[in-house]
Structure 1
Amino acid sequence: MYQIVVCNCPDNDIAKTIANHLVSEKLAACVNILPTMTSVYQWQDEIHCDEEVMLLIKTKASAFSELEQNIIKLHPYDVVEIVALNIQQGNELYLNWINNTVKN
């Protein structure tokens, strides 16, 4: 099974560091870094409005645990948004590429 994992980062430098690490360690076939967006959320009983950068990580479900632990090690947030969405269907050639690129 294949997944898209979503992870928000505080800035582009951290996003690039995490993306490069995940791809070089073969935990992700591809990571898209989406441009700055505004996130509104509640944290410690306060409403925050911060700029963040989103990662869209293409991987295999079997790699999720190791991928998650690597993100947590590199990420500055106390609670890191790491959400996996299963890919139900996709281009067979693209999914095969993910399968052949990700190590798990």
Structure 2
Amino acid sequence: MQDEDIVQIYMTTDSEDVAIHIATTLVNERLIACANLTSGTRSIYRWDGAIRLDREITIIMKTVKSSAEAAVARANELHTYEVPCIVTLDVTGGHAEYLKWVREQTVPVAVGS
């Protein structure tokens, strides 16, 4: 396989508890290989006509491209936000053994299922 079949899913949440719940569920369901949680994120955005400044948890999840859509859908289902930030980013290179491990830990979702 090539490096291009690996993606990262970037997401933010309002609490560590929510982040841990989402990440643990997706790893358990083998939709992602792993997730990194980082506290201390400050987000500035407009919501309901007002500028907001909030503390959030950033989550970076690693998976295969064929599982990304299902992982995003499941993360959205588990999320507490009305409109969560969940984006998928292509991985174009990296440590070959790590990328192999991501593939081994993630069960690809068959097209059309």
So what's the TM-score if we normalise by structure 2? 0.89
Q: Report the counterpart of residue 59 of structure 2 in structure 1.
A: 55
1:5 paired with 2:9, answer yes
CA distance in 2 between counterparts of 1:90 and 1:63 reads: 19
Q: Report the counterpart of residue 44 of structure 1 in structure 2.
A: 48
In structure 2, what residue type is equivalent to 1:99?
R
Paired residues, number: 104
CA distance in 1 between counterparts of 2:87 and 2:99 reads: 19
Deviation of the 1:36 alpha carbon: 2.4
| Aligned counterpart for 1:25 among listed residues 24, 29, 34 | 29
1:81 paired with 2:85, answer yes
Give the aligned CA root-mean-square deviation in angstroms: 0.7
In structure 1, what residue type is equivalent to 2:76?
I
In structure 2, what residue type is equivalent to 1:22?
L
CA distance in 2 between counterparts of 1:84 and 1:37 reads: 19
In structure 2, what residue type is equivalent to 1:65?
E
Give ranges in structure 2 of 5+ residues lacking alignment. 109-113
Give ranges in structure 1 of 5+ residues lacking alignment. none
Deviation of the 1:68 alpha carbon: 1.0
Helix, strand or coil at the partner of 1:98: helix
Deviation of the 1:64 alpha carbon: 1.1
Identity across the alignment (%): 30
1:71 paired with 2:75, answer yes
Helix, strand or coil at the partner of 1:59: strand
